[in-house]
Amino acid sequence: MIIKSAEFVMSNSDVAKCPKSMLPEYAFIGRSNVGKSSLINMLTGRKSLAKTSGRPGKTQLINHFLINKNWHLVDLPGYGYARVSKSSKKVFQKFITQYFGLREQLVSGFVLVDIRHKPQPIDLEFMQWLGENGIPFSIIFTKADKLKPKAIKNHIEDYKSILLETWEEMPNYFITSSSKGIGKDDVLEYIDTLNSSITN
C-alpha cells in the first residue's frame, strides 16, 4: 500500500461523536512512551501527522486520520502513564473500552509494545481483555533498532511463552522501528489485505 493522502479528521473523548462513515478503522494503542506517534508518522510518511512529544501521555483523545480517502487510522491515548492523574486514567480507560466495545467500524487494533523490555503486566492484561472481548488485534513491537537480532528474538519468545499459557496461538505481530522504517511495508500490506477482504 502506498499512502497518497493522510489528513486529520477529528479528536474527541466521546465514541458517539466519532466519524459516522462506515470506512474501516485501525486503532493504535500502547503505553504512553512506546513510540506510537513516531510509528504513525512513519507509516503515513508524514513527519508531524501525529504529535510527538518528549513528554509521554500527550495523546489524551480519540484521534481520527483519514488515509487514502478510504480508511481511518485511529490514534488512541496511551495507558499506564504514572504522571496522569487517577481521575484522568479512569476517563481514558472508559472511552478506550467504549471505543473497542462499541465501534462497529473497527477492523483491528494494534497494540504497541517496546521490544526492549520484558513482557509487562499492563500490556499482557490489555491483550487479555481484547481477547476475552473478541476484539481482533495484532502486536507491534517498536524500537527494534535498539536491540540486536538475537535479543529481539529472545524477547519475542518471552512473549510467546507467556501468551501461549492462555492463548491457543500467538497473536499476529510485527517488528518495527520508526527511525529506520523497519516493518512499515509489512503493517501497511496487512491493512491493505484486510481492507480488500472487506470490500470483496
Distance CA(188)–CA(31), nearest Å, equals 22
pTM: 0.90
Assess contact for 62 and 76: CB atoms under 8 A. Answer: yes
Query: Which helix (H) or strand (E) element contains residue 66?
Result: strand 62-67
Give residue 131's Cα distance to chain centre.
15
What's the grid cell of residue 93? Answer: 480507560
How deeply is 148 buried, as exposed, middle or buried, from its count of CB atoms within 10 A (0-12, 13-18, 19+)?
exposed
The sign of the dihedral angle between the CA atoms of 18, 22, 28, 29 is positive
Task: Kindly report the backbone phi and psi dihedral angles of residue 155, in degrees, each rounded to the nearest multiple of 5, phi listed first.
Answer: -70, -40
pLDDT in tens, 7-44: 999 998 888 999 999 999 999 999 878 999 899 999 99
- Tens of pLDDT, residue by residue over 183-197, are 999 999 999 999 999
Lay out the sheet containing 137-142: strands in order across: 6-12, 62-67, 71-75, 25-30, 106-114, 137-142, 173-175
Which segments in the chain show pLDDT lower than 70?
51-59, 80-92, 199-200
